Protein backbone atom coordinates (compact mmCIF):
# COMPACT_ATOMS: atom_id res chain seq x y z
CA UNK A 1 0.00 0.00 0.00
CA UNK A 2 1.29 3.47 -0.90
CA UNK A 3 1.27 5.70 2.13
CA UNK A 4 2.11 9.39 2.19
CA UNK A 5 2.41 11.16 5.47
CA UNK A 6 4.47 13.79 7.24
CA UNK A 7 7.21 12.80 9.60
CA UNK A 8 8.75 15.56 11.69
CA UNK A 9 7.43 18.13 9.29
CA UNK A 10 8.76 16.52 6.09
CA UNK A 11 6.54 14.78 3.53
CA UNK A 12 7.42 11.07 3.20
CA UNK A 13 6.10 8.36 0.95
CA UNK A 14 6.34 4.64 1.59
CA UNK A 15 5.27 1.52 -0.17
CA UNK A 16 4.70 -0.72 2.83
CA UNK A 17 2.49 -3.59 3.96
CA UNK A 18 -0.49 -1.75 5.51
CA UNK A 19 -0.35 -3.70 8.76
CA UNK A 20 3.35 -3.07 9.27
CA UNK A 21 3.75 -1.37 12.61
CA UNK A 22 4.44 2.35 12.45
CA UNK A 23 7.33 1.56 14.81
CA UNK A 24 9.00 -0.64 12.17
CA UNK A 25 8.26 1.79 9.37
CA UNK A 26 9.98 4.54 11.34
CA UNK A 27 12.97 2.52 12.47
CA UNK A 28 13.60 0.09 9.63
CA UNK A 29 12.34 1.97 6.59
CA UNK A 30 12.89 5.63 7.47
CA UNK A 31 15.95 5.03 9.66
CA UNK A 32 14.49 7.00 12.57
CA UNK A 33 15.85 4.80 15.32
CA UNK A 34 15.21 7.28 18.12
CA UNK A 35 11.84 5.64 18.75
CA UNK A 36 12.43 2.51 20.83
CA UNK A 37 10.73 -0.84 21.24
CA UNK A 38 10.21 -2.25 24.73
CA UNK A 39 7.21 -4.48 25.23
CA UNK A 40 5.58 -4.47 21.77
CA UNK A 41 2.14 -4.51 23.37
CA UNK A 42 1.24 -1.02 24.41
CA UNK A 43 2.38 -1.24 28.02
CA UNK A 44 5.76 0.48 28.25
CA UNK A 45 5.50 3.61 26.08
CA UNK A 46 9.08 3.39 24.76
CA UNK A 47 7.63 3.65 21.25
CA UNK A 48 5.50 6.76 21.94
CA UNK A 49 5.21 9.18 19.02
CA UNK A 50 2.72 11.94 18.26
CA UNK A 51 0.10 11.09 15.65
CA UNK A 52 -1.67 14.29 14.59
CA UNK A 53 -0.42 15.77 17.84
CA UNK A 54 -1.63 13.01 20.18
CA UNK A 55 0.65 10.47 21.88
CA UNK A 56 0.24 6.90 20.61
CA UNK A 57 2.19 3.67 20.93
CA UNK A 58 3.83 3.17 17.54
CA UNK A 59 3.96 -0.59 18.21
CA UNK A 60 0.15 -0.68 18.03
CA UNK A 61 -0.39 1.61 15.02
CA UNK A 62 -0.47 0.01 11.58
CA UNK A 63 1.32 2.28 9.14
CA UNK A 64 -1.65 1.88 6.75
CA UNK A 65 -3.70 4.00 9.16
CA UNK A 66 -1.22 6.87 8.85
CA UNK A 67 -2.14 7.98 5.33
CA UNK A 68 -2.27 11.79 5.25
CA UNK A 69 -1.37 12.15 8.90
CA UNK A 70 1.46 13.83 10.79
CA UNK A 71 3.95 12.00 12.95
CA UNK A 72 6.41 13.54 15.39
CA UNK A 73 9.22 11.39 16.76
CA UNK A 74 11.90 12.30 19.26
CA UNK A 75 14.07 13.35 16.30
CA UNK A 76 11.47 16.04 15.64
CA UNK A 77 11.95 17.60 19.07
CA UNK A 78 15.59 18.47 18.55
CA UNK A 79 18.90 16.80 17.77
CA UNK A 80 22.44 16.89 19.09
CA UNK A 81 23.67 20.46 18.94
CA UNK A 82 20.20 21.98 19.15
CA UNK A 83 18.33 20.12 21.82
CA UNK A 84 14.98 21.48 22.89
CA UNK A 85 14.73 22.89 26.42
CA UNK A 86 12.80 19.76 27.39
CA UNK A 87 15.57 17.46 26.19
CA UNK A 88 18.20 19.65 27.80
CA UNK A 89 16.38 19.49 31.14
CA UNK A 90 16.43 15.68 31.09
CA UNK A 91 20.23 15.85 30.86
CA UNK A 92 20.60 18.58 33.44
CA UNK A 93 18.23 17.02 35.98
CA UNK A 94 19.14 13.34 35.62
CA UNK A 95 15.86 12.39 33.91
CA UNK A 96 17.65 9.95 31.62
CA UNK A 97 19.92 7.08 32.54
CA UNK A 98 20.08 4.14 30.12
CA UNK A 99 17.88 6.15 27.77
CA UNK A 100 15.62 3.41 26.43
CA UNK A 101 12.47 4.96 27.85
CA UNK A 102 13.61 8.52 27.20
CA UNK A 103 12.38 9.12 23.63
CA UNK A 104 8.90 7.99 24.62
CA UNK A 105 8.95 9.94 27.87
CA UNK A 106 10.06 13.08 26.00
CA UNK A 107 7.21 12.74 23.53
CA UNK A 108 4.63 12.27 26.29
CA UNK A 109 6.07 15.22 28.19
CA UNK A 110 6.14 17.36 25.04
CA UNK A 111 2.46 16.59 24.53
CA UNK A 112 1.68 17.53 28.12
CA UNK A 113 3.55 20.84 27.97
CA UNK A 114 1.92 21.84 24.70
CA UNK A 115 -1.51 21.45 26.30
CA UNK A 116 -0.62 22.50 29.83
CA UNK A 117 2.35 24.87 30.17
CA UNK A 118 2.23 24.80 33.99
CA UNK A 119 1.41 21.24 35.07
CA UNK A 120 1.43 20.20 38.72
CA UNK A 121 3.10 16.93 39.73
CA UNK A 122 -0.17 14.99 39.50
CA UNK A 123 -0.65 16.16 35.92
CA UNK A 124 2.94 15.17 35.07
CA UNK A 125 2.48 11.74 36.65
CA UNK A 126 -0.76 11.16 34.80
CA UNK A 127 0.73 12.27 31.48
CA UNK A 128 3.67 9.89 31.94
CA UNK A 129 1.70 6.97 33.42
CA UNK A 130 2.04 5.04 30.15
CA UNK A 131 5.84 5.36 30.08
CA UNK A 132 7.73 2.83 32.16
CA UNK A 133 11.30 3.49 33.29
CA UNK A 134 13.50 0.86 34.88
CA UNK A 135 16.31 3.20 35.86
CA UNK A 136 15.40 6.56 37.29
CA UNK A 137 12.72 5.84 39.85
CA UNK A 138 10.64 8.52 38.06
CA UNK A 139 11.36 11.35 40.50
CA UNK A 140 14.13 12.78 38.33
CA UNK A 141 11.89 12.51 35.29
CA UNK A 142 9.21 14.54 37.03
CA UNK A 143 11.77 17.12 38.11
CA UNK A 144 13.06 17.35 34.53
CA UNK A 145 9.57 18.01 33.17
CA UNK A 146 8.89 20.56 35.89
CA UNK A 147 12.13 22.38 35.04
CA UNK A 148 11.33 22.28 31.33
CA UNK A 149 7.92 23.79 32.01
CA UNK A 150 9.55 26.73 33.80
CA UNK A 151 12.04 27.26 30.95
CA UNK A 152 9.36 27.05 28.30
CA UNK A 153 7.16 29.55 30.07
CA UNK A 154 10.08 31.94 30.39
CA UNK A 155 10.94 31.35 26.75
CA UNK A 156 7.34 31.90 25.70
CA UNK A 157 7.37 35.26 27.46
CA UNK A 158 10.62 36.20 25.72
CA UNK A 159 10.13 34.82 22.22
CA UNK A 160 6.44 34.10 21.70
CA UNK A 161 4.49 30.95 20.98
CA UNK A 162 5.72 28.10 23.25
CA UNK A 163 4.68 25.53 20.67
CA UNK A 164 7.56 26.56 18.43
CA UNK A 165 10.10 25.84 21.12
CA UNK A 166 9.83 22.08 20.94
CA UNK A 167 10.02 22.02 17.18
CA UNK A 168 13.36 21.09 15.62
CA UNK A 169 13.18 23.90 13.13
CA UNK A 170 12.76 26.50 15.82
CA UNK A 171 14.58 24.73 18.61
CA UNK A 172 17.08 26.71 20.61
CA UNK A 173 19.32 25.50 23.35
CA UNK A 174 18.31 27.85 26.13
CA UNK A 175 20.63 26.30 28.70
CA UNK A 176 23.77 28.29 28.08
CA UNK A 177 26.21 26.65 30.43
CA UNK A 178 26.62 23.39 28.55
CA UNK A 179 27.96 22.38 25.18
CA UNK A 180 26.95 19.33 23.21
CA UNK A 181 29.56 16.63 22.78
CA UNK A 182 30.61 16.63 19.11
Partner 1 sequence: MSVSDLRLFEMRRPADLPDVCAVLAERVSRSEPTVLLAGGTDWLVEQETRPAFAKEAALPLVLDVSRLPALRGITLDGDRLRIGAAATYLDMRRDPAVLARAPMLERMGRDIGAIQIQARGTLGGNLATASPAADGVTALAAYDATLVVHSVRGERRIPFASLQTAYKRSTRAADEVIVAVEIDLPPAGSPWIWRKVGTRRAQSISKVALAGVAVREGDRLTRLGLGMASVAPVTALLSRVRTLATSRPLRDLTAADIDAAVDADVSPIDDIRSTRDYRAHCARSVVRAFLRDLGAPV
Q: Which residues bind partner 1 (CB under 8 A)?
A: 1, 17-21, 24, 40-43, 45, 48, 51, 54-57, 59-62, 64-65, 67, 108, 111, 126-127, 129-131
State the minimum distance, in angstroms, from the CB of residue 54 to ligand FES. Answer: 15
Of the CA atoms within 13 Å of residue 69, those in its CB half-sphere come to 17
User: DSSP string of 46-90?
Assistant: TTEEEETTEEEEGGG-BGGGGTT-EEE-GGGT-BTTB--HHHHHH
Among residues 37 and 164, whose Cβ is nearest to ligand FES?
A: 37
Told to check if 43 binds ligand FAD by CB under 6 A, we report yes
Site for ligand FES in 49-108 (CB under 6 A): 57, 59, 96-102
Told to check if 42 binds ligand FAD by CB under 6 A, we report yes
Among residues 42 and 53, whose Cβ is nearest to ligand FAD?
A: 42
Q: How many residues bind ligand FAD (CB under 6 A)?
A: 3
Paired with 4 in beta bridges are 13
Told to check if 126 binds ligand FAD by CB under 6 A, we report no
State the minimum distance, in angstroms, from the CB of residue 41 to ligand FAD. Answer: 6
Among candidate residues 53, 73, 50, 95, the one with its CA nearest the CA of residue 168: 73
Among residues 87 and 131, whose Cβ is nearest to ligand FAD?
A: 131
Amino acid sequence: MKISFKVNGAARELDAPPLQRLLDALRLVLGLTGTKEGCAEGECGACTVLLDGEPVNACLVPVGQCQGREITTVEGLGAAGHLSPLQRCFIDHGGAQCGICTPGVLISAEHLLRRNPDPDDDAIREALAGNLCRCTGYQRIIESVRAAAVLRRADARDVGDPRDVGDARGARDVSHDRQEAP
